[in-house]
């Protein structure tokens, strides 16, 4: 199996983890496995990087970042994934890299501000 195929397999797993369960599953208290999905997106990003498919890698890291974007307890992971997306975008799309880096910087600044009570 090629790195691209393995990456696509990880993407499919992540999407399935986030969409697993319907109405009745949610009624019974089952939640999509966001943490495992984020891990799958990161693994996909890594495999895309090995295959030198930079845009695909960046999009996988962006998807990983968006999972916890609004979770105050996971700000570091979100910022880290945006930064990694920026590193990948930098290879092909400088403007997209700047946007990803800016999101990462904004999150880090927010974390520091909260810590220092600025």
Residues 6+ apart with CB under 8 A from 54: 48, 88, 89, 91, 92
Residue numbers of the domain that contains 54: 3-116
- What CATH number should be reported for the domain holding residue 12? 1.25.40.10
Whether the Cβ atoms of residue 118 and residue 109 lie closer than 8 Å to each other: no
Q: At what angle do helices 54-67 and 75-89 cross, to 10 degrees?
A: 170
Helix (H, G, I), strand (E, B) or coil at 54: helix
Considering only CA atoms, which of 83, 87, 49, 89 is closest in space to residue 64?
83
The pLDDT of residue 72 is 82
Per the structure, the count of domains in the chain is 1
The pLDDT of residue 66 is 95
Q: What is the pLDDT along the chain (118 residues), one digit of tens a residue?
A: 999 999 999 999 999 999 865 555 555 454 568 899 999 999 999 999 999 999 999 999 999 999 988 788 899 999 999 999 999 999 999 999 999 999 999 999 999 998 888 6
Helix (H, G, I), strand (E, B) or coil at 96: helix
């Amino acid at each position: 199996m090629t790195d691209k195929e393995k990456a696509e397999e990880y993407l499919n797993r992540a999407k399935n983890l986030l969409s697993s369960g319907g109405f009745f599953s949610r009624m019974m208290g089952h939640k999509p496995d966001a943490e495992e999905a984020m891990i799958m997106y990161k693994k996909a990003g890594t495999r895309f990087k090995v295959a030198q498919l930079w845009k695909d890698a960046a999009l996988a890291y962006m998807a990983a970042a968006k999972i916890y974007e609004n979770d105050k307890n996971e700000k570091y992971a979100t910022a880290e994934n945006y930064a990694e997306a920026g590193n990948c975008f930098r290879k092909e799309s400088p403007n997209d890299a700047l946007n990803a880096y800016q999101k990462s910087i904004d999150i880090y600044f927010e974390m520091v501000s909260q810590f220092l009570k600025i």
